[in-house]
Structure 1
């Protein structure tokens, strides 16, 4: 049963090795008109060492992380557990808090939780696709666009204010936060950490209450593109663009979230989450998931890209191979993929012309960063059952990735991510947000960026920086789930240990 502490509840979720994972929720209404009750709560995943008893232990340090654009807290699962374990081996009690933005709670995880509890992914299939009820509840479907208007108000101010609310409740003393609270983020979470440091909170500038900042393949620098000579024109242009974009969302000309129209991100979250549960419980069994999923423009369009010549409904795949098809770098190689093995048997290549674009100067660099320059593969014979092998030479662990996706929640992807948030976050780095005005924070706060291929074209154009470390060959997602030991966890652990306590004068 969850434990209650006034407005705070905490529920144990699972244990891996000596690391416990629990979900912490604070009730914190924001007054968004038209928002459901679930929106009035803030949740994060708490990763901490299992202490063997129920006595509360004050951690030596806390690393609080924001996920990337459309990302959820479970995307941090492997790297969070590994950081806690690595620092534990150094005698330091570390907690990692993986934030879930408000809209994460809008997804109905009833079927996922029930499937996890019963160890059977088919429970989720019945709930989400066949109208079966669980404990008297049936899947209500997705919020229609007309009922998502409250998300048009969710921008950087709400995101950083919510983040600060959690920090101020969990570590009430600002001076204590300044000693042992580290911020970080993956992808879009990097700019959010930067803007948090720049922000004026009721207790003062954000940077005065943090001990250090970490970017995981996400830029945390105030001027990530070295535009100092063009700062004023860039800020003026950003201030003109931002109101127009916000107005277009509020009037319905642009979608309020990613869960909109025929291309709903929530559908991908459901499908991939169920595939992960199947790969977790019955990895070698032949998958029956695709025949059970209704044909839709999104699902069939996606699989036509993954499997030319008819789509994968005519291929025989194990549950592990289906999940590998959805998230494996060898099969689809977008920024939302891991290098975590490949198909059994002799595969055949596909989309050679597409990956060949990576050889075009400049444009090819951007293409290779967002997609891949690696050859893509698919099973050679649709009539032969094809499995998946987690090769020891791959960067990420297949099992860790399956656990991050198949943990009973919609928490690897945030299907209802506000579209205003990334627009404001990007333009905010160019001075479009008046409350983000402490651009001097990097002179006072230690910072580290671990970069993979996604940011390589930008980094090559502006040159390396001393506080940046490169993870060669890593995809945008490998940064979060690489096997141990690896450059990400070792670099982050070194940085955290070196700057605890960080004693600075503001």
Structure 2
């Protein structure tokens, strides 16, 4: 094994031929654009097992070279990518669609995270006779990701690829990219990010009047702030001419558990304290010099929990949940031993501080199904990171106990970063096979109704909204990642230094924030719960967590249609109904 690189994980489930075929398609569509010649644009089909019908998905790549001042970079990074969702019976040309929703991802998030909300919205609109498109944008830096192992369709193959130098389709994993090879990302901040969106829109929809009439601009989490900077930007360098102004590329804005603004204030608590984010109190010039020299990390990550390796592990875990959801996982035991994996597992699977420090019992001491291990990594009653939480059900099959690490359940001092829900963990190592009760089976007659030690029910049907299989598909089937391995540090530091002259100059058309109607949809239990001004007239999705606004199932436990896609569909029909 090459010890110079970090490696991933897998489990011993039977290989699914159908899934392998689908993921092979994903591998093809995710190939580097430069490998296909000098075309300026490519569009290839994406096949998915998602049950929402009548939606056509393609992967679109548009050539958009960076200026020479950015320096050396992989050829694939001179392309912009997005996932295009449209009604199967609708027009093939985007310009002929009734409306086009263009979505910016949040922090540490890729285009694949929008899969469910995009399909739900396009399908719902088509059922009402409206042909809309949903474009899930990928940040330019995602060109660095290697999905070859995940796209093999087999978990063990994926682990062998990322950890054991095994070839897949003639390719060997080159390892995760270090800071010294990412000099070009030192300049990848908010100015370049909104310019990339503008360049993509003008390339795909050259008619400015059409963009102004049909495009709705928005995003999730940090994507709302990026949309704010886009709305206020001037793209031709002449503020007196406004056809190029960001707000004149959009007929309206939408914000998914965020607000359209130029400040991170509403998203406080969304960035973990242990990441390598530099102290912006040093000033813009010092931070930029640190990024340019490589003294500061050019990507946002942490030694454990949040880094390229752990982001890859999430996709591999999703793959196992698709392959053999009810089969017993061997994933924790199949993974190689390294500090990143060991400490991450301790953080996520420790009942209390003593368990974390001793490392016993460890996750490998429990019997878990493939779905249960994915649920443990992503559910709001398990993972103690609010921005990674979704509501996909609960553990089943054996006794559970309170997870009182890193904070105790019911603590009045619980930081927003950890979320508000009580956390649980399997309680019997070496015992029964722990399974996963999907969102739509919570509250059924056979539900054990697990409770905390203080008698508080861990969950109920009203708090469960996402199908764990849909989540797994978004994480493992998409050719563009659900998570983001190489998030540009400069994108956050720029926004954090919004009052510096270098960033203030980017807000040319300040009235652009209110120039168009806005739809704000909040997760009822998410990061912004109770913190958004009432004058924004937000739609609140009850029981939702931060990721649920993207991943929720089309039909909810109350029998009603999913509210995020429902409101996006109505807003697309008539943006004037927004605030």
Band of TM-score, shorter chain: 0.7 to 0.9
Q: What's 1:391 paired with?
A: 439
Number of matched pairs: 481
C-alpha deviations, 1:183-231, integer Å up to 9, x for none? 01111100000100100012521101210001111221357869xxxxx
Q: Distance in 2 between matches of 1:90 and 1:274?
A: 37
Q: What's 1:35 paired with?
A: 73
Deviation at 1:74, TM superposition (A): 0.6
Q: What's 2:451 paired with?
A: none
Q: Equivalent residue of 1:91, what SS?
A: coil
Deviation at 1:319, TM superposition (A): 1.0
Gaps of 5+ in 1: 227-236
Q: What's 2:199 paired with?
A: 165
Question: Aligned to 1:85, which of 100, 123, 127?
Answer: 123
1:19 aligns with 2:19: no
Question: Aligned to 2:323, which of 250, 258, 281?
Answer: 281
- For residues 488-499 of structure 1, what are the structure 2 equivalents within 5 Å? 488-499=564-575
1:252 aligns with 2:294: yes
Deviation at 1:51, TM superposition (A): 2.5
1:487 aligns with 2:563: yes
Deviation at 1:263, TM superposition (A): 6.5
Q: Distance in 2 between matches of 1:148 and 1:156?
A: 17
Contact 1:314 / 1:382 at 8 angstroms: preserved in 2? yes
Q: Distance in 1 between matches of 2:410 and 2:234?
A: 43
Deviation at 1:238, TM superposition (A): 8.4
Contact 2:94 / 2:133 at 8 angstroms: preserved in 1? no
Q: What's 1:214 paired with?
A: 254
C-alpha deviations, 1:486-505, integer Å up to 9, x for none? 22122222222112899xxx
Deviation at 1:168, TM superposition (A): 0.5
After the TM superposition, which of the residue ranges 190-199 and 127-136 deviates more from structure 2? Answer: 127-136
Contact 1:195 / 1:429 at 8 angstroms: preserved in 2? no
- Shift in CA distance, 429/317, structure 1 to aligned 2, threshold 3 Å: farther
C-alpha deviations, 1:101-122, integer Å up to 9, x for none? 111110111112222xxxx222
Deviation at 1:330, TM superposition (A): 1.9
After the TM superposition, which of the residue ranges 199-208 and 252-261 deviates more from structure 2? Answer: 252-261
- For residues 301-320 of structure 1, what are the structure 2 equivalents within 5 Å? 301-308=343-350, 309-320=360-371
Normalising by the residue count of structure 2, what TM-score does the alignment of the two structures yield? 0.77
Q: Distance in 2 between matches of 1:489 and 1:68?
A: 18
Q: What's 2:372 paired with?
A: 321
Contact 1:223 / 1:429 at 8 angstroms: preserved in 2? no
After the TM superposition, which of the residue ranges 78-87 and 261-270 deviates more from structure 2? Answer: 261-270
Q: What's 1:417 paired with?
A: 487
1:61 aligns with 2:102: no
Q: Distance in 1 between matches of 2:93 and 2:265?
A: 47
Contact 2:257 / 2:528 at 8 angstroms: preserved in 1? no
1:180 aligns with 2:214: yes
Q: What's 2:504 paired with?
A: 433
Deviation at 1:264, TM superposition (A): 6.0
Question: Aligned to 1:347, which of 391, 399, 416?
Answer: 399
- Shift in CA distance, 54/129, structure 1 to aligned 2, threshold 3 Å: same
Deviation at 1:312, TM superposition (A): 0.2
Deviation at 1:173, TM superposition (A): 0.5
Gaps of 5+ in 2: 1-27, 30-35, 237-242, 267-278, 351-359, 441-460, 555-560
Q: Distance in 1 between matches of 2:515 and 2:102?
A: 19
